[in-house]
Amino acid sequence: MEGKVEHKFDMKPHEQNLEEYGRLCRERTNKSMIKNRQIRVIDNDRGVHMRPMPGMVGLISSNTKEKKKTTPIKQPEMKRTRRDRGELEDIMFKLFERQPNWALKQLVQETDQPAQFLKEILNELCVYNKRGSNQGTYELKPEYKKSVDDTAAE
């Protein structure tokens, strides 16, 4: 950034108010240094307020590592087996005839294929919509749309 200073403006307090201004600055500094927290001593309480409620005993864990170990890792119920590539492409074309835009999760449910395998095929056949009203969905590439329209007309 380049520029030229044409007018300079420096400001100082009046000679009359110089002492008052200094006092004001000191007051501000002292006020900011004062801690406004207070400590109260509770007499004869015996920790009643600090005890956990009867239903809360199992929920609060003192050690977070123990909590992480006990949480079971969710795995797929059964592994999906890959179909023949040509057969899956035919299924995909039929699905895109039914509906123009599909999310990956929907396609995994419809085809019952592994997500990674589906992604490989989708990268060849489809365009991924990153923004807009169909964000996060796949849509057939224009060259495949024409062939789908031609086969539907026949």
Residues 111, 115, 116, 121: what is their CA dihedral angle, to the nearest 10 degrees? 40
Task: Please identify which residue in the block is written with the tokens 């006020």.
Answer: 31
63-75 pLDDT, tens digit per residue, is 555 555 555 555 5
Confidence of residue 61 (pLDDT cuts 50, 70, 90): low
Indicate the pTM of the whole model.
0.45
107-151 pLDDT, tens digit per residue, is 988 888 888 989 999 998 899 999 888 889 999 988 887 655 555
Q: Which CATH class is domain 85-151?
A: mainly alpha
Residues 38 and 41: their CA atoms lie apart, in Å, by 10
Residues 53 and 104: their CA atoms lie apart, in Å, by 45
Name the nearest CA neighbour of 92 among 74, 73, 117, 72: 117
